[in-house]
Structure 1
Amino acid sequence: MDRAEERRQRHGEKKEDKKASAAASKVEYPNATRQQPDAKASAKVTPKLKKMMDLYDADKGSEARAIADEIIANSAANAYDHAFAAQIAAQLAYDADDTAAAIGYLNKALEFNGLDNNGHYSSMFMLAQLQLQEDKYAESLATMDRFLSETKSTKPEHLIVKGNALYRLERYVDASKIIKQAIDASPEPKSDWQQLLMASYAESGQTGEATKMAEAVASKNPTDKRAQLNLVATYLQADQYDKAAAVLEKLRAGGQLNEDKDYRQLYSTYLQIDGNEKKAADVINEGLTKGILKPDFQAYLALAQSYYFSDQVNPSIEAYKKAAPLAPDGETYLNLARVLWQEDRIPEAKEAAKQAIAKGVKKPDDAKKIIALPGK
């Protein structure tokens, strides 16, 4: 959901919010150690607060923020006035894509220490999320450590933010522990949480755990391409190429290999398995025929190699002829010359060797030797 949609949803819920405010507020952090203040607006500043909120409700963000700034700077305002104005200003800044200002306002809201626990800790949690968004990972982690320590929260949506910060800081073992705690505490964990846990396992060398989790997720979602590709990634991480190929083949049979990268993944996987070069060639040809695999240098080079190592020399030569003009240098022309020479197609080999030198090779003498061969 983008910020504009968030604004629309929030303002669409205002009537419900007003009804809810008439009832006793739900205590969001019942185990918080913070002794919350009385949280009452001062008589002198109440008119300003009302004006700010009227502008806020009318979607006049810049005007509401200006009033908020006035309240924050007003020495006659109390801690609640200051903190509440900073909290509203933070939301307005966020809505205006001014994340740096939103972070500044949230820090002020916490420093003023005038909100009730619901407002205070909601501001703290928003601060941690924005710090994470802005790549301030160490700051986000510090904010979340404080948040979790003071609120005693074990809610998965809170734990995952800390886990994400730990992952970004490359503390993968620590990240995997708390991300797993978040997933275990959630009745329906989000798929990106699961991906983050698998990535943490993989980065910390816990490939067995990563694979076990990926297999469990994939088995529950047999038609979910993303879940299946995550399983492929864990198999590849563990050098289990045969298992990775099997999963990709199931996707191919189901018509789910519909992107260029999908076909490249499958043929590259087959090329890692001895004796599967013919399968790699079949995959490449299918991808090219369907127009899914781009007919570029890498595809034709892989096709040439697949044919060559599956003893299909003539098709290999034809693929090399397509790859060589697209290559960044003359090395592919030189390989073509070598194969042609092996097949006693000397005139063609000489011509390919000349093309190799013209395009540039690391060892031009190798090409010159082919050019110097007897025969036209």
Structure 2
Amino acid sequence: MTASPSAPVGATFRWRGPDGTTLHPDTRHTLADGLRRWPVVEGIPWLRPGRDDLRERAVAALDAGEPDAAAVLLLGDADDWWEAAPPPPEQLRTALRAGTLREAVRLLGLGRVGVYFLHRWSDPSWLAALALTAAHPPAGRPVVDLACGAGHLLRHLVRHGHRDAVGVDVVFAKLWLARRFVLPPGARVSLVCADLTAAWPLPPPTAARHVACHDALYFLPDKAAAVAAALACAGPGGALLLGHLHNARHPAGQAGLPLPAEQWTALLPGATAYAEEELTAAAVAGRPPEPAVPAELTGTEAVGLARDPAGPAADPGLLQPAPASPLRPNPLYVDGARRWPDPRWAEEYGGRAAGYLPERWPAEPGPDAVRRRLLLDLPERW
């Protein structure tokens, strides 16, 4: 495997390593800090700390002219929450030749996370992320998506015209999916594999940034440190959006290391708070979400927070796919019937998704078909 000739490297700033040291390219496929060398595969720097053996093996493979071998090594690396063993190297090597996102997530052994990626465009937490973003948009500022996964939000913003974007995630396989299948071809998006519990890979901002972290902060043990670092990453006049923060008092909010709603809001003083259910409903209705008062957050499944001192006007267009996007029927419908992808997805998302996805494909989808996610802007090779 070699990177596509058109594969972008994104912004030209210098990455920083896990100890905060600025990295410099020493070859076309590695970065160095003077002591250690770090692999870069498909334009994605891999900067995870505490995995020196894996780092050195990947660098050695790249030095030997074997990018496939380096990619296989990094594709087998998971986060600390993942309990499954990596697929055999032969299977990961086959994944390098996958023709679709569906085939790739299967070969990568991503299990429930793969199902989540495939159907992210339909789930209620995605609609909540869109509503939060539309209410507090980037407004031309550089975008940093923390724990970006397979790049769904980055794709959405790039297609809406945002050109300066960075995605950070701790799992290389997710970023590889973003680059290969999810991001628009030629998108100027920088991706970096790094651990947000170590020194952050981005240099200090030279201008205000729009920083977002959706459906991930509840996994981090030191949430206050992560929020402080995210605010520093946003810079003066920058925005910080924190989406889908699991409410520890809600039965559906027990995954990860959740907090009660009032502890989430205390982490970001001055932020506008939203209930997850209101954010989802607003996206379906095509209207701005209503901020929540503390009492309304007590029973929500998850909290959304946004702090933006610049206060740009809302951008309702971000609730929908970009104009002229090719739309396809939601793949959750098979032979006209709605079928959840598996029982786990149905338990986590089906109850609220049923509020906008009917059991049967309508005889004549109405003007709200896009808002209700009957029609989706899926990647070409979904």
Q: Under a length normalisation based on structure 2, what TM-score does the superposition of the two structures give? A: 0.25
Between structure 1 and structure 2, the one with the greater Rg is 1
- Per residue, is there more helix in 1 or in 2? 1
